[in-house]
Amino acid sequence: MRLENKVALITGGGSGIGRASAEMFAREGAKIMVSDVDETTAAETQSTIRGAGGDASIITGDVSNSGDAERMVKATIDAYGRVDVLVNSAGITGRNAMYPGASAEEIWDRVIEVNLKGTYLMCWHAVPQMEQAGGGSIVNLASIMGLVGYSGGLGGGFNAYVPSKGGVLQLTKNLAIDYAKRGIRVNCICPGYIATNLTRSLIEQDPEAQGKLEALHPMGRLGTADEIASAALFLASDESSFVTGTPLIVDGGYTAQ
């Protein structure tokens, strides 16, 4: 029960890494506010947690909208009295950012809005609440693409996903050093390719993509959402009490090459 009596707000909690984190955190004793743009998937996560005896509520909204971000934090405070942990798992890629036929500039703007601005806004609204409560832990989802360049993909060198995740990593460091003395730890996770809906959409477009992606990792496979959730659990818990400003790489050896 590494998060017993803690309250965790998890964005993107309706699927993938967000859902895995919500369910794992609940098993470790946390009360969970599941946030997602999709009410149906958020409710599914809530139902799973409650079915296992956990405590979960849901709130819908767009992390790139300041009013929605503020409302998510407020809903967590209203439901549970505080926010001890924030996991910024909501994220998109250029493949699912916009409607078919959207311009390159529209896709760029939307990816940056959700991945980077959304992380910023959630932190912006959560940090004052954590300060009042005497501290907290923020876990941002960056990527191996925040650490290394990526050749090809949608947009080639203009792929918005890569700089969006690089920005998350640098935002993490900035927040960590500014709020360390106020009891707030801020870290990020840099996953390799993970078997989630985002990766599946890429594989569906190219039947050979899975083998190609697996071959990029020395371990010869994709990661799982639970493996990333386990890393998030470590960073959220007191086990990482002397860890802040750190990108935790969970990538099957991808960036060691």
* Mean pLDDT on 108-117: 97
To the query of whether residue 120 is one of the catalytic residues in this protein, the response is no
Digit-coded pLDDT (tens) for 197-237: 878 777 777 878 889 999 999 999 999 999 999 999 999 99
- Which residue is it, tokens 């790489």? 249
**Are 59 and 34 a contacting pair, CB within 8 Å?**
yes
Catalytic residue selected from 161, 179, 193, 254:
161
* Mean pLDDT on 29-46: 98
Which domains does the chain show, CATH number per domain? 7-194+224-256 (3.40.50.720)
Digit-coded pLDDT (tens) for 52-73: 999 999 999 999 999 999 999 9
Residue 154 has pLDDT above 70, yes or no: no
Bridge partners, residue 59, by sequence: 35
Average pLDDT of every residue of the chain? 95
Residue 250 has pLDDT above 70, yes or no: yes
Rounded to whole angstroms, the Cα distance separating 24 from 46 reads 12
CA 201, 59, 8: angle at the middle one, nearest 5? Answer: 90
Residue 157 has a pLDDT of 79
Helix (H) or strand (E) holding 105: helix 104-112
Residue (of 196, 211, 193, 212) closest to 252 by Cα position: 193
DSSP label at residue 251: S
Residue 35 has pLDDT above 90, yes or no: yes
What is the sign of the dihedral through the CA atoms of 167, 172, 178 and 184? Answer: positive
Q: Against a cut of 0.75, is the pTM above it?
A: yes
Rounded to whole angstroms, the Cα distance separating 250 from 231 reads 8
Q: Which two tokens stand for residue 116?
A: 């980077």
Question: Distances from the Cα of 68 to the Cαs of 52, 56, 64, 65, 72, in angstroms?
Answer: 29, 19, 8, 5, 6
Kindly give the interhelix angle for 16-27 and 39-51, rounded to the nearest 10 degrees.
20
User: Which string of DSSP letters, residue by residue, matches 178-234?
Assistant: HHGGGTEEEEEEEE-SBSSHHHHHHHHH-TTHHHHHHHTSTTSS-B-HHHHHHHHHH
Helix (H) or strand (E) holding 55: strand 55-60
Residue 93: which residues within 8 A CB-CB, separation 6 or more?
111, 154, 161, 198
- Which residue is it, tokens 């989802």? 141
